C-alpha cells in the first residue's frame, strides 16, 4: 500500500505513469531535486499523517518507503 501511494504521489508531481517508478528508482533519475523531495515528503506526511526527517541518505524510492513504513508501524 505504501509503495502504491508513494508512486502515485511521485507520478503526480513529475507528470509520469506510476508504473514507471520502482523501488530502485533514484530521485535524481526522475529529475527530482532536493526541493522537490521536500515537497514530496510534505505531501506524504499529509497523506499518512506522520512526520518524516529528510536527509541526504534518502536517494531512492525505497529509502522513502522505508522511512514511511517505519513511522506508520509505530503509529
Report the distance separating Cα 29 and Cα 50, nearest Å. 26
The parent domain of residue 15 ranges over 2-74
What is the Cβ-side half-sphere exposure of residue 45, based on CA atoms within 13 angstroms? Answer: 10
- The pTM of this model reads 0.88
Which set of grid coordinates corresponds to residue 50?
A: 506522520
Kindly name the residue from 33, 36, 46, 63 that is annotated as catalytic.
Answer: 33
Domain count for the chain: 1
Report the CATH number at residue 42: 1.10.1200.10
Verify whether residue 33 is a known catalytic residue: yes
**Inter-CA distances, 44 with 27, 40, Å:** 15, 6
Q: Cell numbers for 27, please give them.
A: 530521485
For 1-58, what is each residue's pLDDT tens digit?
899 999 999 999 999 999 999 999 999 999 999 899 999 999 999 999 999 998 888 9
Amino acid at each position: 500500500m505504501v509503495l502504491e501511494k508513494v508512486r502515485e504521489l511521485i507520478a503526480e508531481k513529475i507528470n509520469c505513469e506510476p508504473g514507471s517508478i520502482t523501488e530502485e528508482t533514484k530521485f535524481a533519475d526522475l529529475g527530482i531535486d532536493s526541493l522537490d523531495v521536500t515537497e514530496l515528503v510534505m505531501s506524504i506526511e499529509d497523506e499518512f499523517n506522520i512526520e518524516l526527517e529528510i536527509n541526504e541518505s534518502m536517494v531512492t524510492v525505497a529509502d522513502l518507503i522505508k522511512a514511511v513504513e517505519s513511522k506508520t508501524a509505530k503509529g
